[in-house]
Structure 1
Amino acid sequence: MPVTIHPTAIIHDGAVLGEDVSIGPYSIVGRHATIGDRVNLVSHVVVDGVTEIGEDSVVHPFTCLGGPPQHLAHKGEPTRLTVGKRNQIREHVIMHTGTEKGGGVTRVGDDCMFMAGSGVAHDCILGNNVIMANQASIGGHVQVGDFVFLGGSCAVHQFARLGRYCFIGGGAVVTKDVIPYGSVWGNHARLEGLNLVGLKRRGFSRELILSLRTAYRMMFAEEGTFQERLDDVLENFSDVDQVVEIIRFIREDSTRPICLPSDV
């Protein structure tokens, strides 16, 4: 299928456009950009830097993808932004390329939705099916697992990790790592339990949710030390992959502490 380019759009020499791409009014595509098949830049979209947008993605007006990182150490090195397939990127979203010291790549997975005004900083790594609600913002080097939901106007501190299927409440200020399947709220954010609504919506069985809830209560009980409780959970739930995932997440090396319940 032919590429459709509005007369007011600017496509710099060197840009690579896939099949059936649509470039809307007043959009600008830089010379190092690669636009996948059937991507639709609706209008007033800027694709800058060494940026790749995966097939079947839709980018709405006044979005800027691939701008240089907001980092004083960046001196114009050729870092990258890679956006996966079938992403919905709404108005005024920003995503920056990586930094040389941070690995050089900001990476976004497939089937994500970025609502109006959300922002992805340099060197972030996002999984698949991530949703960032309006004005949600993540700092540099943040790792976001699959199926994470970030509520409106939340802010995530640089270098934090958000485990798979976790939920970040609207307006939360997250300064610590969030365990997989967890739910956090507040400023500063505290762990309020499991993301039960999200797990049910994603088809987790009642039996698996019960195992996760039992393991969660054991982890954050009052008896023993935290490490002793983790050992007990691992011993009792070694056959439940999702529980083992949480334990491994907690015990991985990280620059941020783990977000805990307020009474722990």
Structure 2
Amino acid sequence: MIHPTAIIDPKAELAGDVEVGPYSVIGAHVTIGAGTVIGPHVVIQGPTTIGRNNRIFQFASVGEECQDKKYRGEPTRLEIGDNNVIREHCTLHRGTVQDEGITSLGDNNLLMATVHVAHDCRIGSDNIIANTTGIAGHVKIGDGVILGGMTGIHQFCRIGSFAMTAGCSLVLKDVPAYVMVGGNPASARSMNFEGMRRRGWDADVIATLRRAYKTVYRRGLTLEQAIAELAPQQDGCPPLALFLDSLRASERGITR
């Protein structure tokens, strides 16, 4: 299971069936759960916790010190859940004490080649992050998000659940849940209605979200006015409530 050329620190904790490929390096204070496969030439530094049934491909760098000049060697963490696929040359860095000290990745995510996840990012589950996407520090990403190839996300941005970016998008403001954006700088184009249909969402829910999008983006209202108009409709419609919550949570302003 562990190639003889791999270097594993005695303070690392690996489940009995973890596979480690040739020339990989696993440092101290790394914990790796059952069923996880580490490819060749992977470097994992701690403190890092990796869950079950993940696959990390060659040349990935996981749990390294962050690229922040304020970092002074504090014991910050990287936490990775279960069933993630992390492809070639991905980089995931630990957090900083200026934030919560943790970078986290949930479950069932696909990170394609050369994706960068910077310090203090919080990424949920079931996301697809395409090749060469760069996610700057302190970014929060929900669940079911699709980030097109070469997307760049500015630090402190929020990407709501089920949002989507086109390839080569430059995201400078928050993207609400369900919203599709594209361009440099990114602007809102629509909601991911096709994705909703593919997930089997009820037609009435999709129609409600379509009207909500028009209220926020097409009627010339301020964000506060739009939220006030939509708020009475959110009871009994969790998808609309999620959309409104993502609007309320915005601190940088939403992508228009």
Give the TM-score range, shorter chain. over 0.9
Q: CA deviation at 1:230?
A: 2.2
Matches within 5 A, 1:157-236: 157-222=154-219, 224-236=221-233
> What secondary structure is seen at the aligned counterpart in 2 of 1:153?
coil
Q: CA deviation at 1:223?
A: 5.3
1:78 alignment counterpart: 75
Q: Distance in 2 between matches of 1:183 and 1:122?
A: 25
Gaps of 5+ in 2: none
1:259 alignment counterpart: 255
State whether residues 94 and 117 of structure 1, in contact with CA within 8 Å, keep that contact through their aligned partners in structure 2. yes
**CA 1:219 to 1:79, structure 2 compared with 1: closer, same or farther past 3 Å?**
same
State whether residues 215 and 221 of structure 2, in contact with CA within 8 Å, keep that contact through their aligned partners in structure 1. no
Bigger mean CA deviation after superposition, 231-240 or 147-156: 231-240
Structure 1 residue 144 and structure 2 residue 141: aligned?
A: yes
Q: Percent identity?
A: 39
> What secondary structure is seen at the aligned counterpart in 1 of 2:35?
coil
Q: Distance in 2 between matches of 1:227 and 1:40?
A: 48
State whether residues 215 and 237 of structure 1, in contact with CA within 8 Å, keep that contact through their aligned partners in structure 2. no
Matches within 5 A, 1:229-248: 229-248=226-245
Q: CA deviation at 1:253?
A: 5.4
Q: How many equivalent residue pairs?
A: 256
1:25 alignment counterpart: 22
Counterpart of 2:8 in structure 1: which amino acid? I
Bigger mean CA deviation after superposition, 62-71 or 48-57: 48-57
**CA 1:91 to 1:225, structure 2 compared with 1: closer, same or farther past 3 Å?**
closer
Q: CA deviation at 1:214?
A: 1.2
Q: CA deviation at 1:102?
A: 1.1
Q: Distance in 1 between matches of 2:221 and 2:164?
A: 28
Q: CA deviation at 1:228?
A: 2.2
Instruction: Give the one of 100, 104, 108 matched to 2:101.
Output: 104
Matches within 5 A, 1:56-95: 56-95=53-92
Q: Distance in 2 between matches of 1:33 and 1:209?
A: 43
Q: CA deviation at 1:200?
A: 2.1
Q: Distance in 2 between matches of 1:257 and 1:43?
A: 42
1:8 alignment counterpart: 5
Q: CA deviation at 1:13?
A: 1.2
Bigger mean CA deviation after superposition, 76-85 or 209-218: 209-218
**CA 1:39 to 1:208, structure 2 compared with 1: closer, same or farther past 3 Å?**
same
Please provide the CA RMSD for this pair.
1.3
Structure 1 residue 130 and structure 2 residue 127: aligned?
A: yes
Q: CA deviation at 1:239?
A: 3.0
Structure 1 residue 156 and structure 2 residue 134: aligned?
A: no
> What secondary structure is seen at the aligned counterpart in 2 of 1:170?
coil
Gaps of 5+ in 1: none
Q: CA deviation at 1:161?
A: 0.3
State whether residues 174 and 250 of structure 2, in contact with CA within 8 Å, keep that contact through their aligned partners in structure 1. no
Counterpart of 1:88 in structure 2: which amino acid? V
State whether residues 220 and 226 of structure 1, in contact with CA within 8 Å, keep that contact through their aligned partners in structure 2. no
